Amino acid sequence: MQEGLDIFEEGIIQSSRAVSEERKQRLAHLVANSLSVDQLKYSESRKLLNIYNELTDPEVIWLIYYSLNPVLVKGPHSDWVNKHPDVLKPISREMGAPQEQHERGALQDSYKLTLSRLGLTTEKNRTTSLTTLGRLMVRYITDEES
């Protein structure tokens, strides 16, 4: 019982610092899933909360992006890109591009590196995919059942 209260309190603290409504909703999913009887143990739930706390909103957007299976026709993957073009659209770094564009590209790279550093994504043959921990995090912060 004390452990559940601790997770709930951590959720409230993180929620009070969250700016976007989407972040608050994802955090609510994470806390609710952590408190479910059939879900992870306390220490594992705390770990997910700590990882989530380290992620910025753009990093969460990239994490969910990697969880969506790209298809040749219009689908959830392209819908997600259209919903978050400022975060997900590729940024050209060609010679002569404005400095601001290079800076945005550097930030975009840092989002992806953070996901890898936290063990949420892996790269193989220039393709990024979710790790088991990444899939677990996406499942806990979204409505999806897997």
What would the pLDDT profile of 87-142 be if each residue is shown by its tens digit? 998 888 787 888 888 888 999 999 999 999 999 999 999 889 999 999 999 999 99
47 and 86 together in one domain: no
- pLDDT: which is higher, 80 or 96: 80
Element (H, E) at 131: none
Q: Residue holding tokens 């953070």?
A: 114
pLDDT of residue 131: 96
104-113's contacts with Cβ under 8 Å and 24+ in sequence apart are 107/58, 108/58, 111/56, 111/58, 111/59, 111/62, 111/87, 112/62
25 and 75 together in one domain: no
For residue 35, give every residue at least 6 positions away whose Cβ sits within 8 Å of its Cβ, in sequence order, or none: 4, 7, 8, 45
71 and 35 together in one domain: no
94 and 144 together in one domain: yes
Query: Does the pLDDT value for residue 14 go beyond 60?
Result: yes
64 and 99 together in one domain: yes
Domain boundary (10, 39, 54) is at 54
pLDDT of residue 51: 96
Backbone angles phi, psi at 118, to 5 degrees: -80, 0
For residue 38, give Cα distances in angstroms to 8, 31, 86, 100.
17, 13, 38, 48
Q: What is the pTM of this model?
A: 0.82
73 and 144 together in one domain: yes
29 and 88 together in one domain: no
Q: Domain count of the chain? A: 2
Structural domain of 35 = 1-54
